Structure 1
Amino acid sequence: MMKVLLVEDEILVRVGIKSIVDWEEHGYTVIGEASNGAEALEKIKDNVPDLVMTDLVMDTMNGFELIKVLRQDYPAIRIIVLSCHNDFQNVKEAMRLGASDYLFKLTIMPDELIQTLDTVRNQMGIMKIAASSTRDQIVHQNLSTIKSKVIHAAIEKSYVSAAECNKELKQLGVKVDLELDYILVYISVDEFYLANVNSRIKERELLKFSMLNFIAEAFERIESSEVFEYDGGDCLVIVNTEGLEHVTILETFIMLREYMQRYLGISVSGSLSLNHRGIRDLQEAHQEAITALEARFYSGGGSLYDYRERLDISADSSIDFPENLNCLLLDNWLEQIAIEKVKSFLAEYFDFMESCQRVSRHRVRNRLLEVLVPFLTAARKRGVDLENMKYDGGFTAQQVIAKYESLKLIRTWFMQFADDFMEECRRKGQTRGRAEIVKVKDYVNNHLSSSDISVSTAAVLVNMSESYFSHLFKKETGSSFVDYVNSMRINKAKELLLHTDMKIFEIASKVGVENTNYFSMLFKKLTGISPSEFRQ
């Protein structure tokens, strides 16, 4: 449990920060509070925290003085500054002195608080900046964090004024001028969810740190450019374009791609916005780069994509399948355990999907979820537990479709999944087990809408004691009766989520779970995502 000391002279702010999250649930504990720096140091003498969250403007001893003492006497303690929106100069000075991050104390949200705490904790455990870096390195790392937050605000247009945001960027020494013509280059690791599995660097935060350094090094050759850390495995590069040839950006990306593959063992893609001018255009430039990057879904990644080539993409474009790709046919082949016909159907299905390159990837993902439904139906009928069929990254079938960034990779995964699924169906068919267990399974599948399915009900059905039935069911199926029933309920719920407009509370009732909150909790426990996320 990471120990946190809260230093803030306004008691209501302290109460608010302490109350908005369940600290211990996330691995933190608030060991004390102080109203100024001097009081904080007295408390630290008795119980040294891992992390101090401090205001800057306080009587007796302010936050700046506290940071100086902590850096001198307690260098292992990390510091998060609690600031106001109009307090950028003070935040910058605090970060220069050695603070790790900052939060706007009056508008702080629970997710933002936990994310910031987790980021600092990762820095402590992985990078060990305080123990191994010089003060200049610490300042450089913290300025990178500030730049990232400022560019987020610029893209989201959450700044107080465009002029103030421009001023902050200049104060940070940003080399690019947003008042001149610029383009936004979006750099993204291909399949970042799997990057720590495939990369030579297994720790995700350290991988991101190494990537940022490589990107900065590659773009040093373009004088008027600036690299910003963004979300997940992504970075933004803003480049002033006056006098710059487009081929220079392409050559720089190719060099970066080779760096990443050779030294980190990962593949990256990039995308380009149109030309823009002014900080107010940054949001549009960012969206253009994101749209251009959608081409990666079809090509498999490793390329630089231009927004001009995606101008005719429509999120509303429909996909009209030919008759031979009707999923009812797949239902039939799965029912017969006709492996070659199933694989042939899937091969033709993916061939057709790969031809739909002018359709948004979101719509394609939805159609891929539809082809998963016959597998869910067959799994429920045959007692196959899809939740145990996980692959790289520990992803389930629906998570692969939702998260993988390449249609080719989804196709490779799906074909392997189909092989494994059919083999499991064969195995289940050959060893359906004792007649009593088969009878119970059939009963469960025919009565999923009932909330009264229990061990006692099943035991009575086959004339056994509850304890003996539970033992026998686990021996025959490899799972407990309760787990089996829950798995069947959730498989049925998936079908209803994809093929009906029923509300979530109606689906919960339809599969025998009367409490909607419990249904959502159970669904997320077994699938990794909520019912609404699965439906999207």
Structure 2
Amino acid sequence: MAIKPLGVLIVEDEIPLREELRIFPWEACGAEWIGEASNGSEAMQLCAERTPDVVITDITMPVMDGIALIRELRKRHPNVQIILLTCHSDFHYVHEALRLGALEYILKVSLEEEELKKAMDKVRAAVVKERMVQEHARREQRQLQAALFSKLLHGQEPAGSDWQSMTLSVDRPIRLVRLQLDIPHLAYLPVKETVQQRLTEQEKRDPNWLTWLTVREREYFVLLEDRAHSDTVLESLRTLVQHLTELLNREETKQGRLAAVYAFLSKPVTSKEGIASELAYSNEWKDALFYDRCPEESAVYALHSLPLSDLTEKKTKELNEILRKASWSPASLKECLLGEFRDWCIAERVKPSQLKERILHWQVDWHRQQEGTELSAARMGLLMDAGTLAEMIANIVQDMEAAELGKSRSRFEIRLAVKWIKDHLKEPISLPVIAEQVGLSPHYISKLFREETGSTVNQYITRLRMEKAIELLRHSNKKVYEVAEEVGIPSYRYFTVTFRNWTGVSPTDYKRNG
């Protein structure tokens, strides 16, 4: 584990010895001299300012001796390693110093370069071990906190033990920061590790940082101790957002547009109820970004207006009517999505999850009305994951264009066959019957179907029937045998075997657990 040079603080009341240690070749030991003091009291002041990795201290000194210094270091700076400089006359103090946590001791009269280097090697090994232990503890705590936040974000009630990873104090409130990285997934992957390294560096450097954690892709949470003035915290946060934005917009990560970083800063909280409340409020802030996000500008929000509305029955009718009037042609529909539909969404500011769910149903219905097209699972995922209104509309338009292109490239007979299969899914279907419907030979329609859809006729029919069965088992009260008949497989045994091969579970278990 590579570590930076160890910071060495010398505490010695004898000036000649301090001067000798000052010019010691610390670089050869992987260390650097960062200061000196003539007694323990001065040393404690320097420790507060410079945080050394190792203190090399005399035992017998005025004001505060070495033993008292070690006791104070153990209280205030427990990670600092200690090397004693001792004389034969005060050798009886060494045992007490070692008991208190000193790592090594060196006799002043025999102080040699090689002996000090060996002592520094021992310090370095102890520092590396301690940092590994601390890093492991930080990772464990980060994982526990991420699990807690995940439950809160999903509306689950955490157990009492889940909150043990949070150190809460009435005297020292904390603030929650939520960071949103607006960057395409493929552009983010190469810099993901660097982003997390940047957050870890900030955590080590900033005394206000308690921890950072992540629950979802391109999203981070930071917990700050609220002991600084709010303006200072905001300025520090703005600097972080600026640095992350520059990192995301390196030339090698750009993919057609600038990335942006958005940050939400909560009010100070001192209780688990406060954390849950601010996390819920940050969810509303994230939803508001669906409409407010500007792809050219990063921003920090300390207080943010969140006027979002529910998709009422009246608004649903308005939305349906806007899309219905424009559905007479693909060109008209695209114009509507980029114009009237977009303007309506911006004006009404419907909660994104509700808007996406309604548009998903509409998009599925639109595909059903098109011959030979269907909404893929990948397209559904793009719609539901869209971070902005503009991104959602762009995905819908791209899907429509892809569907139109697919229709123009596919043969009329195959589109006709697909439509006939969907319309007669409940009936017995065979290749000769399909061939008769489209006016081609069974062999030829089989060959064309595989070329244009990527599956055989039987595979396609089975997929449609299983997808329909899954929908009925999940959303209806029909019995399993009724579902089997509804999807065109009247044999209960054959339906059960096919369903298990398709899903990995029996239809009865799927209905029970779905």
Bin of the TM-score, shorter chain as denominator length: 0.5 to 0.7
The yes-or-no answer on 1:424 pairing with 2:413 is: no
Alignment partners' CA distance in 2, 1:276 and 1:448: 58
Q: Aligned residue for 1:444? A: 421
| 1:366-408 Cα deviation digits (max 9, x unpaired) | 22213313432134xx113543xxxxxxx72211111122221
Deviation at 1:152, TM superposition (A): 4.3
Letter in structure 1 aligned against 2:178: Y
Alignment partners' CA distance in 2, 1:321 and 1:270: 35
Q: Aligned residue for 2:355? A: 364
Q: Aligned residue for 1:189? A: 181
Alignment partners' CA distance in 2, 1:501 and 1:276: 42
Equivalent pair of 2:372/2:419 in contact (CA under 8 Å): no
The yes-or-no answer on 1:352 pairing with 2:344 is: yes
Q: CA, structure 1 residues 463+373, in 2 after alignment: closer, same or farther (shift >3 Å)?
A: closer
The yes-or-no answer on 1:400 pairing with 2:382 is: yes
Letter in structure 2 aligned against 1:485: I
Greater Rg by CA: 2
For residues 404-483 of structure 1, what are the structure 2 equivalents within 5 Å? 404-428=386-410, 431-433=411-413, 440-450=417-427, 452-455=428-431, 457-458=433-434, 469-475=445-451, 479-483=455-459
When structure 1 is superposed on structure 2, of 472-481 and 181-190 the one drifting more is 472-481
For residues 98-497 of structure 1, what are the structure 2 equivalents within 5 Å? 135=129, 138-152=132-146, 157-160=158-161, 165=164, 177=169, 179-190=171-182, 194-195=184-185, 197-199=186-188, 201-202=189-190, 207-218=191-202, 223-233=207-217, 234-245=219-230, 247-265=231-249, 267-300=260-293, 302-306=298-302, 309-310=305-306, 313=308, 315=310, 319-320=315-316, 322=318, 325-331=321-327, 333=328, 338-347=329-338, 348-357=340-349, 359-379=350-370, 382-384=371-373, 386-387=375-376, 396-428=378-410, 431-433=411-413, 440-450=417-427, 452-455=428-431, 457-458=433-434, 469-475=445-451, 479-486=455-462
TM-score after normalising by structure 2: 0.56
Q: CA, structure 1 residues 316+414, in 2 after alignment: closer, same or farther (shift >3 Å)?
A: closer
Structural RMSD (CA): 4.3
Alignment partners' CA distance in 2, 1:517 and 1:293: 45
Q: CA, structure 1 residues 294+509, in 2 after alignment: closer, same or farther (shift >3 Å)?
A: farther
Letter in structure 1 aligned against 2:159: S
Number of residue pairs matched by the alignment: 353
Which 5+ residue runs of structure 1 have no aligned equivalent? 1-132, 171-175, 388-394, 525-529
Q: CA, structure 1 residues 477+315, in 2 after alignment: closer, same or farther (shift >3 Å)?
A: closer
Equivalent pair of 1:456/1:466 in contact (CA under 8 Å): yes
| 1:467-511 Cα deviation digits (max 9, x unpaired) | 5552343346554213443565588789x89xx974687888644
TM-score after normalising by structure 1: 0.54
Letter in structure 1 aligned against 2:353: H
Equivalent pair of 1:297/1:407 in contact (CA under 8 Å): yes
Deviation at 1:516, TM superposition (A): 8.2
Alignment partners' CA distance in 2, 1:210 and 1:273: 26
For residues 52-63 of structure 1, what are the structure 2 equivalents within 5 Å? none
Task: State the SS of the aligned residue for 2:223.
Answer: strand
Equivalent pair of 1:177/1:240 in contact (CA under 8 Å): no
Deviation at 1:340, TM superposition (A): 1.9
Q: Sequence identity of aligned pairs in percent?
A: 18
Q: CA, structure 1 residues 418+275, in 2 after alignment: closer, same or farther (shift >3 Å)?
A: same
Task: State the SS of the aligned residue for 1:353.
Answer: helix
Alignment partners' CA distance in 2, 1:517 and 1:405: 41
Higher relative contact order (CA 8 A, sep 6+): 1
Deviation at 1:412, TM superposition (A): 1.9
Task: State the SS of the aligned residue for 1:185.
Answer: strand
Equivalent pair of 1:147/1:228 in contact (CA under 8 Å): no
Deviation at 1:185, TM superposition (A): 1.0
Alignment partners' CA distance in 2, 1:328 and 1:509: 34
Deviation at 1:137, TM superposition (A): 5.7
Q: CA, structure 1 residues 466+386, in 2 after alignment: closer, same or farther (shift >3 Å)?
A: same
When structure 1 is superposed on structure 2, of 369-378 and 210-219 the one drifting more is 210-219
Letter in structure 1 aligned against 2:305: E
For residues 75-94 of structure 1, what are the structure 2 equivalents within 5 Å? none
Q: CA, structure 1 residues 314+517, in 2 after alignment: closer, same or farther (shift >3 Å)?
A: farther
Deviation at 1:144, TM superposition (A): 2.7
Alignment partners' CA distance in 1, 2:500 and 2:366: 22
Letter in structure 1 aligned against 2:403: F
Deviation at 1:282, TM superposition (A): 2.3
